[in-house]
Chains A and B, each alone.
Chain A
Amino acid sequence: MFNRNSATFIITFFISLTCSADNLMWERSLELEKLGFYERAATAIEIYMTRGDDMEYALLRYAYLKYKQGEYNVSIDHYDKAIHLNPDSLDAKLGITLPYMAQGRWRRVKVYTRQVLTISDWNYTAHERLMMAEEAMKKWTTLDRHAAELTTAYPSDAGALAYYAHANAMQGDVAMAIAAYEKVLMRDPEHIEANAYLGDKK
């Protein structure tokens, strides 16, 4: 009934249809996320978490979308699966810090950001989240040293300077805090924390 060429055409047609359907689901998921429909965005890509080449990406994306919905434990479980699948994934190790931060589990944030920093010494996101953990745990001396190192690596960055200023302020070193906050304002004149501190002290 079918010759060889017809059979090839039919198979190619169905494969391209499947690929198009897959791409359509990813696109749909991204669009739903933009509109704030995180649950529907997650559901759209749910089937890819258990099969195919895109399993890792699907796990990361699903975990992130669950984090956005406040389902932190589900998010952590899926980031864990992604880490298990690819233990060298910086994406997954940085990603898992998001639900841990939301739950106030700063010791876990330290563990994962340090794992990232052993692979990528000056990964800014890892340093930033580690500083957040040090701040939440009130480790002011550690934060002071850490933020000082980061301002050397990222001299134009207002964020690291603000952590340095805050650490000094919390240790009672007002002069150092004022000097650092002034430098923060040179880089970001609208910086809320710097303006509030300097407004209070001057």
Chain B
Amino acid sequence: MEILFRFLLSVLITTSILITNVYAGDRWYVDATADGKAGRYSDSVLRKDFYSASVWLNMDYLDNYSFAFAYNNLKINYKDAGSGAFNIAQEAFTGRFQYYFYNDALAGKITTQLVAYRLINDSPAAMAGSATIISPKLAYMHYDKDLSVDIEYVWSDYASSNLGSNLIIQQFAPSIGFGFNQNSDWLELKAYLITSNDKSQSQGEGSLTSARVKWKHWLDPEAIFGVNSFFIDALAGQRIFAVDNETYTVFNLEDIQQESVLLGFGWRPGEDFDISAVAGIEKYKNKIIDNTYNREYFYISLTKHW
């Protein structure tokens, strides 16, 4: 797996260098995103706050295929850290490749996607450690962009787990989305089934299920404060070690996530920029010490399109 990951990463990086040298033509479309996330833990016995920053680079060759790379740096501060020995710092390197097919019989675009992550952290906890994650996905979007169906699989190998044996987490996540109101609204439902091969390393849970619903609405151009869109995202059920390939986020350093909700706003200051701001609250439970707490956060991102 390590060899496969290194191969994929080197192919992706080499290709990105080649692409950035020739993107000036009208066939390459490049997006760069910088984002930051900060939050605090309320009622947590152990955790205090966290900070995260990422950069993404996305390159599309027309509507045929796409490469993306992301780097994330995350720091979680603990309450009783003292000299800082128990704080956790993590780096995440992500590569994504997408290839598109157009199927007239299904009247839609088929996306095949492969995402690979490499996480490196200094966590002393058994549930964390460094990880390699591979995630294939198959997605369908109708030509009218009013229906999407996809199925995603995630294979996470926490090979450096302190308990000796590898912790393997598998995630199955099908989703369905609908556009309505002349595609001014988008409603998406996503289900998660996450299984662990070693309960002792996943807080006693062998499998967890959860469901997420997201509603996004695009506003008229004269909307207040120039807001282009807003979205609400809510999660019910439980999940741990979840992977979100839309935001390249791996929840490997968190406890069992329970009900969560977020509210986001989007702006488009000119046709080449996008800004997003999100405020959210997530409920977690540490079953080892029986501590339920919330994580409140604020997220902002800026994207430039070329």
Contacts and interface: CB of A to CB of B under 8 A. Distances in A.
A and B interact: yes
Contacts of B222: 172, 174
Contacts of A141: 270-271
Given A105-B63, A111-B27, A142 B102 contact: no
A108 B63 CA distance: 7
Contact of B102 (A73, A114, A174): A73
- Pick from B60, B144, B221, B226 the residue with the most CB of A within 10 Å: B221
A163 B270 CA distance: 18
A169 B221 contact: yes
Contacts of A21: none
B62 A139 contact: no
A142 B26 CA distance: 15
Interface in A99-121: 102-108, 110-111, 114
A139 B268 CA distance: 11
A79 interface: no
B102 A170 contact: no
Contacts of A114: 26
B104 interface: yes
Contact of B221 (A102, A105, A106, A170): A170
Interface in A141-163: 141-142
Contact of B62 (A107, A172, A174): A107
Interface string A28-71: 00000000000000000000000000000000000000000011
B283 interface: no
B26 A73 contact: no
What is the interface of chain B mostly: helix, strand, loop, or mixed? Answer: loop
A102 B143 contact: yes
Nearest to B228: A138
Contacts of B268: 138
A72 interface: yes
Please name the 8 residue pairs, one residue from A and one from B, whose CB atoms are nearest each other, closest first.
Answer: A172-B221, A107-B62, A105-B63, A139-B271, A141-B271, A72-B104, A103-B102, A170-B221
B251 to A, nearest CB: 32
A125 interface: no
15 contacts: A70-B107, A73-B102, A73-B104, A103-B109, A104-B109, A105-B62, A107-B62, A107-B63, A108-B62, A111-B26, A140-B271, A141-B270, A172-B222, A172-B226, A174-B222
Contacts of B63: 105-108
Interface of B: 26-27, 29, 60, 62-63, 102, 104, 107, 109, 143-145, 221-222, 226, 268, 270-271
A23 interface: no
A7 B267 CA distance: 81
A15 B143 CA distance: 48
Contact of A103 (B29, B60, B143): B143
Contacts of B109: 103-104
A171 interface: yes
Contacts of B29: 107
Contacts of A171: 221
Contacts of B104: 70-74, 103
Given A74-B104, A110-B26, A114-B26, 9 more contacts: A70-B107, A104-B109, A104-B143, A107-B29, A108-B63, A111-B62, A138-B271, A171-B221, A172-B222
Contacts of B27: 107, 111
Nearest to B268: A138
- Pick from B26, B63, B271 the residue with the most CB of A within 10 Å: B271
A110 to B, nearest CB: 7
A106 B143 CA distance: 12
A138 B268 CA distance: 10
